[in-house]
Amino acid sequence: MPAVRSPQLNRFALLCACVLAAVPATARAQGAYPDKPIKLIVPQAPGSATDTVARILAAELGPQLGQTVIIENKPGAAFTIGLDLVAKAPPDGYTLGLGPIGALSISPNMIAKIPYSIEKDFQPVALVARGHLLLTVGATSEYKTVKDLIDAAKKNPGKMTNASSASGSPGHVGAELFKYMAGIEAVHVPYRGGAAATTDLIAGRVTFMFESLNSISPHAKSGAVRGLAVSGDRRSPAFPDVPTVAEAGVPGYSAPTWSGVIAPAGTPKAIVDKINEAVNKAIQTQAFKERFGSIGDEPAGGTPEEFANTIRTDLAKWKDVVQRSGAKLE
């Protein structure tokens, strides 16, 4: 004999159904996040330093979130094409970006008009990695130390050239800070990418270059270029015999690099916190640490608030450097 439901039970079931229907779909979805693949936008080309970080991260982040993380390279216009796509994406956690220091704290100081606000249109999620620029000369260069380079530049003001992967790149402004603090002059020669700049450095067509350790470490390890110093506050584990610029003769010099995951502003805190936790776990996996150890960068991690503070601090720091140098991006 079928069970008979009481009128009170029927009314209770109807009430529950009405309450559930009144809950916004986005709120219900938060509990299940993520239930589909996640897109990670990289504002640089495949093979770039940022792309390398993104691909190493995606391989470890996917398993932590239980979904595939798909890399989408959107280079161009000094990072603004890729970052604009992140800023304008739905704030649901399914479109993220990997923001390097160049995109979030350097180029905004060099572009008159950008289609987004770093402070208002992005939600910092987690710092992924910290790294260095490597101050390099060609393997056949006469300069063996930072002091050699500075002494020669002072004797021949304006005769040296310093290459960079692009105007507005970390290598560009890192060199501007170096020249200012060392009291030397050199002509900046921007290239369209680090590979072309490195080729000319190796051939002796430019004097020196600051380039991401992530990109140039294979050339330094092979002996094609000579690393004189790293730009961070401490030595790189991958190059323990290479001093920092500060140790090598420019006290106080500091120009570390970093990259981190960002989301569109308005992304729910529960989703931000879940991604942050997953990133912090991903960068501590053995596979992540081994791959990063080979290129000289280090896992970073931390809270969204700590990453936001890093962005703000470096925005102010590089604004001063850019204004002194007069560098601009049209």
Residue 120 phi/psi, 5° resolution? Answer: -105, -25
pLDDT score at 265: 98
Which residues is 164 bridged to in the sheet? 190
Q: Is residue 51 pLDDT above 70, yes or no?
A: yes
Q: Where in the chain is the domain with CATH 3.40.190.10?
A: 133-230
Contact 61, 121 (CB under 8 A): no
Contact 149, 278 (CB under 8 A): no
Q: 108: Cβ–Cβ under 8 A, 6 or more apart, which residues?
A: 114, 118, 315
Residue from 174, 164, 245 nearest 209 by CA: 164
For 1-6, the CB contacts below 8 A with 24+ separation are none
For the segment 163-170, the average pLDDT, to the nearest whole number, is 91
CATH code linked to domain 35-131+256-325: 3.40.190.150
What pLDDT is attached to residue 31? Answer: 56
Q: What is the pLDDT of residue 330?
A: 56
Which CATH superfamily is 133-230 part of? Periplasmic binding protein-like II (3.40.190.10)
Q: Which of the 8 DSSP states describes residue 93? A: S
Q: Tokens 């990072």 label which residue?
A: 79
DSSP classification of residue 116 = S
178 beta partners: none
Boundaries of CATH 3.40.190.150 in the chain?
Answer: 35-131+256-325
Angle at 261 between CA 257 and CA 267, to 5 degrees: 145
Q: What is the dihedral of CA 63, 66, 72, 77, to 10 degrees?
A: -90
Q: Is the model more confident about 291 or about 300?
A: 300
Q: Which of 255, 247, 113, 287 is nearest to 178 (CA)?
A: 255
pLDDT at residue 29 is higher than 50: no
- How many Å apart are CA 186 and CA 239, to the nearest integer? 26
The yes-or-no verdict on residue 328 having pLDDT over 80 is no
Q: Summarize the confidence of residues 181-188 as an average pLDDT.
A: 97
